[in-house]
Amino acid sequence: MDRLSALRLFVRAVESGSFSRAGRDAGLSQSAASRAIAGLEAELGARLLLRTTRRLSVTEAGQRVYEQALRLLEEDAALVEAAAGADREPIGRLRVSTSVAFATAEVAPHVDGFLREWPRLRLDLAATDARIDAVAEGVDLILRLGPLTDSSLTGRRLGTYERWLVAAPEVAKSIDTDAPLAERLRERCVVFSGTSLAQKWRLEGPDGGIELEPSGPLSASAGAVVLGLAEAGAGVALMPSFAVRDAVADGRLARVAPEWSGPAMPLTALWTHRDLPRKARLFLDHLTPRLRLDQR
């Protein structure tokens, strides 16, 4: 087996945690896959995987080789694609990074359809709420909500999402609709402490804009927890529309003062290459029309 094929097999073994699954994907038996990776280790002069009866674990050297192998395989796939032209079916791995909430609500429902359309692609959805080094992490495409801070990345704005005030239906009904908005929300806010809105809520409505300091006994650093508290009747939350739209539609949440909304959240697609890789463009072409953006 040539080195590139052995590296591809090694990457699959790391990602699947199994020689048998890696071998099956390559049309090899478990023993043949194990021998091929042992040969790669001998060629490189380093132990890459620790084998036990239960699982595989990656050594420190193996992790370094894995990260370099991903880049090498991506370059090989790009070379094949460039040589074959746009008519060739895309192959290889596509790594997309976005927040956990956005991946859950807006991306995950459309992944199966994309992979059915392009069955030779493998999608790695890297869902995290932390900012990452896209180059170091081997990310092809970032879907980022909010203002941009990475001037080195190429990007395209896809649209915006509104922020809605939401609460459990019984809480929403109990709020005095004749009182000024700040009074309606006094001591009833569930604060999302993981965002810039933890200190001030900036809202736009029929009377212009207002700022209020959210107050109440509850705060949480994860959006899913904030939503759970709001659904349980703990108070009013200010959340992006994509995160609460389904809960509003099925009656678990209701909008509070729907004529008011928080500052819009821009959604931007970012990539590290000068040109958007074809497989990433195909993913955006599939996903973008299906996003429930409030403004495009």
pLDDT at residue number 73:
84
**14 occurs within a structural domain:** yes
Same domain for 77 and 170? no
Residue 179 maps to which CATH number?
3.40.190.290
Burial code of 211-221, b = ≥16 C-beta within 10 A, e = fewer?
ebebebebbbe
% of the chain at pLDDT higher than 70: 95
Is the pLDDT at 99 greater than 90, yes or no?
A: yes
Is the pLDDT at 195 greater than 80, yes or no?
A: no
Helix (H) or strand (E) segment spanning residue 69: helix 60-84
- Distance set, CA 283 to CA 24, 87, 137 (Å): 27, 16, 19
Residue 121 in contact with residue 91, Cβ under 8 Å? yes
Q: What is the pLDDT averaged over residues 26-37?
A: 91
**115 occurs within a structural domain:** no
110-168 pLDDT tens trace: 999 999 999 999 999 999 888 777 777 788 999 999 888 766 678 899 999 999 999 99
At 70, the pLDDT band (50, 70, 90 cuts) reads: confident
pLDDT at residue number 249:
96
**102 occurs within a structural domain:** no
Residue 28 maps to which CATH number?
1.10.10.10
Q: What is the pLDDT averaged over residues 41-62?
A: 89
**114 occurs within a structural domain:** no
Show the tokens assigned to 41: 């280790």
Phi, psi of 123 (to 5 degrees): -100, 125
What single-letter DSSP state applies at residue 105?
I
Number of domains in the chain: 2
At 89, the pLDDT band (50, 70, 90 cuts) reads: confident
Examine the fold and report which residue of 68, 87, 106 is the final residue of a domain before the chain moves on.
87
Look at 37-41, 212-216, 220-224 and tell me which has the smallest mean pLDDT.
Answer: 212-216
Show the tokens assigned to 63: 């992790």
User: In the chain, what are the helix, strand and coil shares in percent, each to the nearest 5?
Assistant: 40, 25, 30
Q: Give which of 127, 138, 128, 133 is closest to 149, Cα–Cα.
A: 133
Residue 209 in contact with residue 202, Cβ under 8 Å? yes
Q: What is the pLDDT averaged over residues 58-70?
A: 91
pLDDT at residue number 208:
84
Is the pLDDT at 53 greater than 70, yes or no?
A: no
Is the pLDDT at 295 greater than 80, yes or no?
A: yes
The answer for residues whose C-beta is within 8 angstroms of residue 77's C-beta and 6 or more apart is 91, 92, 93
Domain that holds residue 33: 1-87
What integer best gives the mean pLDDT of the chain? 88
pLDDT at residue number 82:
67
What single-letter DSSP state applies at residue 261?
B
Q: Please name the amino acid found at residue 257.
A: A
At 56, the pLDDT band (50, 70, 90 cuts) reads: confident
